[in-house]
Structure 1
Amino acid sequence: MNATAYAKLQMEQAFSLMNGTAQGMSDEQYNFRPEGTCNPIAKNHVHALTAIDFFLNFLAQGKSPLWQPVAAATGLPQNSLEIWKFDGKVPLDAIATYGKQVQQSALDYVATLSDADLDREIDTKFIGTQNVAFLLQLSGMHTVGHTGDMAALKGLQGLKGLPF
């Protein structure tokens, strides 16, 4: 298996785990605010998806993020980092649809890469100059990490966390 095939497989598996974890909830459960300093599932989900959008659509491909039209249509913050301060309800169906778009865009991008493309360097502006391979592994790792947060928050509500 070459490196780009491996990267695509990693992304597919991370997305599958997150999508399975994001199922089986009402909007109320999705937006449940636990005690303490935990963030709702909705905020973790939006953050994980907008990070993929930022890393792979904006930084790696130079495209406009897919988030802005979703934010405008739903009343969510245009700056996706402001989701952590947002006090309103996040619509699960709209975010699930956005997630499919972001994930497909990321997978389509990875499918175009050669192994040599993984070495291309990008000035990220916030974590220095990194190569495409770094952004791919960061996207996968970040997605899985926040999926664990989502699963734990489902468990706090008596729901099945992970889909297996």
Structure 2
Amino acid sequence: MTSADLLVDAFGRIKENVHGTVADLTQAELGIQPDGDANSIAWLIWHLTRVQDDHIADVAGTEQLWTAGGWSTRFNLPFDATATGYAHNPTDVAALADVPADLLLAYYDAVHAATITYVSTLTDADLPRIVDTRWDPPVTLGVRLVSVIDDDIQHAGQAAYIRGMLLRRR
């Protein structure tokens, strides 16, 4: 197994989790915040996708699909086009309540496809490349990719947990 194979597998598992979590939920269920300060499934899926889009575009040297692919216009959210969800408050989370599952998944799938296209080209020699000097030590490509995978897995798991709560209420 190559590094590229490992990365493709990891991002593929995230895709399975995202789709499995959203499957067969109503738009209302996707937007439910379990309490006043909690994130919704819709927000968690949007956020993990935005972070992946932002970070992968940065290391690949491409424009984010959020803007380049017109997703920011289709979502029509009251956020700056650069927003990824960092430091969002409950009101911001609630802004995702009306986003339909097919739109969330279409954006996620577009970002996933771009991610797979990029990581499929990587070799072991690419992973030590410094991609962010704002940290000490500077962040390598390998560390950035693991960070994205870790963030996405955590948020997909949080969304799956909320799904379980909602399904028990049905």
Query: Is the TM value for this pair above 0.5?
Result: yes
Of 78-87 and 88-97, deviating more is: 78-87
Shift in CA distance, 36/126, structure 1 to aligned 2, threshold 3 Å? farther
Alignment of 1:66-105 (within 5 A): 66-68=65-67, 69-76=70-77, 77=79, 78-82=81-85, 84=88, 85-88=92-95, 89-105=98-114
Q: Aligned AA for 2:65? A: L
Unaligned runs of 5+ in 1: none
**Displacement of 1:3 after TM fit?**
2.1
Q: Aligned AA for 1:24? A: D
1:60 and 2:69 aligned? no
SS of the equivalent of 2:109 reads: helix
**Displacement of 1:2 after TM fit?**
2.3
Taking the aligned partners of 1:73 and 1:44, their CA distance within structure 2 comes to: 18
Of 117, 128, 132, the match for 1:119: 128
Question: How many equivalent residue pairs?
Answer: 159
1:149 and 2:158 aligned? yes
Taking the aligned partners of 1:156 and 1:13, their CA distance within structure 2 comes to: 22
- CA deviation digits over 1:94-121, x for unaligned, max 9? 1110111000000010111111011111
Q: Aligned AA for 2:108? A: G
Identical-residue share of aligned pairs (%): 22
Q: TM-score, normalised by structure 2?
A: 0.83
Shift in CA distance, 54/4, structure 1 to aligned 2, threshold 3 Å? same
| Aligned match of 1:132 | 141
SS of the equivalent of 1:106 reads: helix
- CA deviation digits over 1:88-146, x for unaligned, max 9? 32232111101110000000101111110111111265787311111211121111100
Q: Aligned AA for 1:52? A: Q
Taking the aligned partners of 2:19 and 2:71, their CA distance within structure 1 comes to: 18
**Displacement of 1:37 after TM fit?**
2.2
Alignment of 1:25-36 (within 5 A): 25-36=25-36
Shift in CA distance, 115/50, structure 1 to aligned 2, threshold 3 Å? same
